[in-house]
Amino acid sequence: MTAAIEDSTTHQPRVQVALSAALAAGPSHAYLFKGPRGSGKRAAARAFAAEILAGAAEDAEDARRRAMLDPSPHPDLVWLAPKGAQHMVEEVREQVIRASVYRPYEGGKRVFVIEAAEAMRDESQNALLKTLEEPPGFVHLILLSSEPAALLETISSRCQPVEFAPLPAEAVEAMLREGAPDVDAEELAAAARLSAGDLELARLLLTEQGRELRERAVEREWSAMLKTAEAAGEEAEAAARETLEEEKEGGVKRSAREIADAAKRAGRRRRTELLDLGLQLAAAWFRDLAAVASGAADVAYNRDRIDRLRAAAGGLDPSAARQAAELVADTRRRLDLNVSEQLALEALSFRLAAVLG
């Protein structure tokens, strides 16, 4: 096992075994790295790609070093990430499908990594099928996905699956502590547990935006929570538009309509993510209320707010808190069906009032 793969999969022992075995036997032409966000898929893919390139290079150490840089200057490593909510169809065609027929610039291998593969449109996925079915012998594709169910079955079935599990809360907490040593230890512990093993989400919870969203969720301030999500969406839309405009000025062919549509998708995606996170935090709060009301405060996720939990749980029927958590989960499912966000939150408010008083 190489040091890079070992370091990138410290908390993923099954992934370590799978990738080490693949390198020993000779890597397959296509892999699907799937698992929760923040579980280490990106780092593992970079380390795995670096080993594939190093194994076919005259100077293995130099090839490995360049491939491990982010962004990488290695000409035979193509890393495609969506600029907005979705991959642009033409980018998938140009940077992966058409580019994969060209022989390596150096060494004997080329590696193409598609990050957030579920963000490819069906048109892109269908176009990628031939490359997955009959790739040149020197080509290896690595698809990363946090939502593999959104991929076409024809795509998934042509890739070797590599399963990533959620990171343990202790591991997330340790990594948070390295990056934010001045943050209160109890808040770090709470963020680690509320993130459900998603390191990126845990880091968001320690930002001003994350803290505000968490407070709105705890206080059941649904309208304010929606406004926070909308503001985040507007920021994401503006950032995506700026990036796409810069790329257009740099020579990438995009129409004004394509830029506007891609920016709007990025904004909608971010707004939806933040709103869903707010509901997830609300459900966790009610779960903690049920635990505290049952005398099991030691299992609460919101460790930094244990006094508030105890005060709110005083005289509360644990079953009512559990029912409240279920109502929030039901609202999350309704929003997945494109139900009006405002109406869904208003309905949730009335339903919670009936259960909790």
pLDDT of residue 247: 76
CA torsion, ordered 31, 36, 42, 45, to nearest 10 deg: -30
pLDDT of residue 322: 96
Contacts of 337 (CB under 8 A, 6+ apart): none
Residues 214, 220: Cα–Cα separation, whole Å: 10
Task: Kindly tell me if the per-residue pLDDT of 251 is higher than 90.
Answer: no
As a whole number, mean pLDDT of residues 12-34 equals 95
- Tell me the per-residue pLDDT of 83-105, one tens digit each, with 9 for 90 and over: 766 787 888 999 999 999 999 99
pLDDT-derived band at 246, boundaries 50, 70, 90: confident
Residues 42, 344: Cα–Cα separation, whole Å: 35
pLDDT of residue 84: 63
pLDDT of residue 3: 80
- Tell me the per-residue pLDDT of 22-31, one tens digit each, with 9 for 90 and over: 999 999 999 9
- Weakest mean pLDDT among 42-56, 175-189, 254-268: 254-268
Residue 274, Cβ neighbours under 10 Å: how many? 22
As a whole number, mean pLDDT of residues 160-179 equals 92
CA torsion, ordered 22, 4, 72, 40, to nearest 10 deg: 80
Q: 3-163 belongs to which CATH class? A: alpha beta
Task: Kindly tell me if the per-residue pLDDT of 65 is higher than 60.
Answer: yes
pLDDT-derived band at 21, boundaries 50, 70, 90: very high
As a whole number, mean pLDDT of residues 247-258 equals 80
Are 87 and 120 contacting, i.e. CB atoms less than 8 angstroms apart? yes
pLDDT of residue 85: 62
As a whole number, mean pLDDT of residues 148-176 equals 93
pLDDT of residue 1: 55
Handedness of CA 128, 130, 132, 138 (dihedral sign): negative
Characterise 314 by phi-psi region: left (phi > 0), alpha (psi -120 to 50), beta (else).
Answer: beta
DSSP 213-234: HHHHHHTT-HHHHHHHHHHHHH
What are the residue ranges spanned by the domains of the chain?
Answer: 3-163, 207-356
pLDDT of residue 321: 96
Q: In whole angstroms, what separates CA 214 from the centre of its chain?
A: 19
| Cα separation values, 210 from 7, 216, 273, Å | 29, 10, 12
As a whole number, mean pLDDT of residues 105-123 equals 93
Contacts of 200 (CB under 8 A, 6+ apart): 37, 38
Tokens linked to 85: 């909510």
Are 244 and 263 contacting, i.e. CB atoms less than 8 angstroms apart? yes
- Weakest mean pLDDT among 39-48, 71-80, 243-252: 243-252
pLDDT of residue 299: 94
Task: Kindly tell me if the per-residue pLDDT of 339 is higher than 80.
Answer: no
pLDDT of residue 270: 87
pLDDT of residue 266: 83
Average per-residue pLDDT for the chain: 91
Task: Kindly tell me if the per-residue pLDDT of 191 is higher than 70.
Answer: yes
As a whole number, mean pLDDT of residues 232-252 equals 85
Task: Kindly tell me if the per-residue pLDDT of 67 is higher than 90.
Answer: yes
